[in-house]
Structure 1
Amino acid sequence: MISYPMAVGAITTRVLEAGHGDNVIILVHGTGGRADRWVRNVDALAGTGYHVYAMDLPGHGFASKGPGVACSVPAYRAFLGEFVAAIGASQPVIVGTSLGGHVVASYACEQAGRVRAIALVGSMGLVPIGDEARGRIQAGANNQTREGVAGKMQRVIFDPALVTPEMLEEEWRINNSPGAKESFAALGSYIASDLDKEVVGEQLARADFPTLLVWGDQDKTVAPAIGEKVRALVPDSRLVMLAGAAHTAYYERADDFNAVLVDFLAGRDGQTPRAGVTWS
């Protein structure tokens, strides 16, 4: 895996890349995250023959942030389209988690002929999540104190042993870098006021590309019941529940997530039994 800065339109971002060729997977993080959230997935997926990319969304990680940087699903959808064009990907598989799942689903519905398949992990933006949940997410985006960071990581990761002091220190430093406060405030305001106005579940139900839904059965940020609701709504979808994982199932149970994604893309849905992995 290599890491490098890249200009995408007016935005500078940081990219993680592994593998070669035209069989592309793009990984999109969620609110307060960054490209290296996918560190347990990039090399592993590349090892199965895919050309894998992850990047920092505007306002996050090492990407451009601060006043003048748009932070919303429409802005991120446009950025994702520019990124796809910049790397020259033709019909990539695009994976998104949390708010990144909303971005991916929104992009795929708008550019249906340009994606091979999508995978959505604990995704927002598929059905309305309500005022209380939106307010909670906004509060979390705006609370980048050490205590706030620790509380968030302990909520989104089920196994406390995975939440190390080094992880918390890095999270705090990056999310308090210049411009981060302004970007998180803008994104939090968007989530509180507009997120549920732009849900795409009904559009996804009419789409003609395969959709993989992955949820941790301990997800307290976007409840597993939402994954079940979307599975019933979207005919060309499969839902995988990962036991003992919360909102970051792709990180917490990376080996299982990577295997599930590769099997789904190969048309082997659920053919290889794995403990704690349930397909529906």
Structure 2
Amino acid sequence: MMQFPLTIAGVTTRVLQAGHTGPAVLFVHGLSTRADRWRAVLEHTATLGFRAIAFDLPGHGLADKPADFDYSASGLARFTLGVLDALEIPHAHLVGTSLGGHIAALAALAAPQRCQSLYLVAPLGLAPMTPETGEAIRRGVRNVSIEGVRAKLANVFIDSSFATEDLIVEESRINGSVGALEALSALGDYIVERLNSELVSDALVGLARTLPVGLLWGAHDRMVPLSIGHATANALGLGELPVMADVGHAPYVEQPELFVERWSAFAGAAKAHA
């Protein structure tokens, strides 16, 4: 595992990478988290012969947090494609979770020739968000206190042991750092005011005719209802929705080896499909 800075259009981010050769896999994290949530997944994916990469979205983690950045899913999708450009990766498997799933889907729709497959883990952007849910998310991302972070992580993980005190304090400090709260607030505003104008479900139906698209949900996801996953799997003609037992909204954290096993099986099928 290595990490290094990378600058795209004047915005510097942190990249984590495991493996130097093989097909590239780009992992996109969700709202108010960061690249290191994928650390165990990167390590396991690299052992399978892939070049596994994650990065901090602008406004998150150790990335820059410019006030004038376009903090929308489409703006972050453009940055994601910029990461591929800066790393000189012509095409990659894209894996995104939660808001990162929405971002990855928009990146794949914008540049399908850059995407070998698209794997979405309980993503946003598939179904209209109610005003109540949007306001709850906006309040949550603006509360970077220790207790606010503790409450948020209680909804992310089923196994409370993953919400360690170190993680809670670290997340509070990072999300309360200079520029972070303003960036997260801008994303909260986007989710309330504009996310429903960038839904991807209909476009994914067309994309899935030419590009392998996969879904995965945690059986106990408290953030994005399983009903959305079932409806999307049906619309995409994927059959039964793949679900991981005994995990919540972050199956890649709670059971990283099984997560990689599920993804690699999908990627293998995607390669055969190609």
Q: CA deviation at 1:237?
A: 7.6
Determine which of 203, 226, 229 is the counterpart of 2:228: 226
Matched with 2:250 is 248
Q: Deviations over 1:51-90 (max 9, x none)?
A: 0110000100011114222211111011011111111112
RMSD over equivalenced CA pairs, Å: 1.5
Any idea what SS the aligned residue of 1:78 has?
A: helix
Counterpart of 2:74 in structure 1 is 74
Render the CA deviation track for 1:151-184: whole Å, top value 9, x for unaligned.
Answer: 0011111111111111111111111111111111
Offset, 1:268? 8.9
Distance 1:238 1:110 in 2: 27
**What amino acid is aligned across from residue 16 of structure 1 in structure 2?**
L
Cα contact 2:22–2:49 (8 A) shared by 1: no
Q: Supply the AA of the counterpart residue of 1:187.
A: L
- Equivalent position of 2:265 in the other structure: 263
CA contact (8 A) 1:58 1:65 kept: yes
Q: Distance in 2 between matches of 1:28 and 1:209?
A: 18
Residue 34 in structure 1 maps to residue 34 in structure 2: yes
Mapped contact 2:3–2:14 kept (Cα < 8 A): yes
Deviations 1:201-246 (A, max 9, x none): 1000001211111100111110111111110111368731011111
Instruction: Indicate yes or no: 2:178 matched with 1:174.
Output: no
Q: Distance in 1 between matches of 2:180 and 2:118?
A: 29
Structure-2 residue corresponding to 1:274:
none
- Larger deviation: 128-137 or 182-191? 128-137
Q: Which amino acid aligns with 2:258?
A: D
Give distance in 2, aligned partners of 1:144 and 1:124.
Answer: 21
Cα distance in structure 1, aligned partners of 2:139 and 2:239: 32
Residue 21 of structure 2: aligned partner? 21
Could you tell me how far 1:40 is from its partner in structure 2?
Answer: 1.4
Deviations 1:19-49 (A, max 9, x none): 0224000000010010001011011100100
Check the 8 A contact 1:130/1:196 in 2, yes or no. no
- Which residue number corresponds to residue 147 of structure 2? 147
**How many pairs were matched up?**
269
TM-fit CA distance, 1:91:
2.1
Q: For residues 151 and 70 of structure 1, what CA distance do their matches in structure 2 show?
A: 28
Alpha-carbon distance between aligned partners in 1 of 2:132 and 2:247, rounded to the nearest angstrom: 23
In structure 2, distance between residues paired with 1:76 and 1:239: 27
CA distance in 1, matches of 2:238, 2:42: 26
Off by >2 Å, runs of 4+ in structure 1: 235-239
Is 1:140–1:148's contact at 8 Å kept on the other side of the alignment? yes
Paired with 1:35 and 1:56, the residues of 2 have a C-alpha distance of 5
TM-score, length of structure 2 as denominator length:
0.95
Higher helix proportion: 2
1:1-280 → structure 2 map (5 Å cutoff): 1-207=1-207, 208-235=210-237, 239-267=241-269
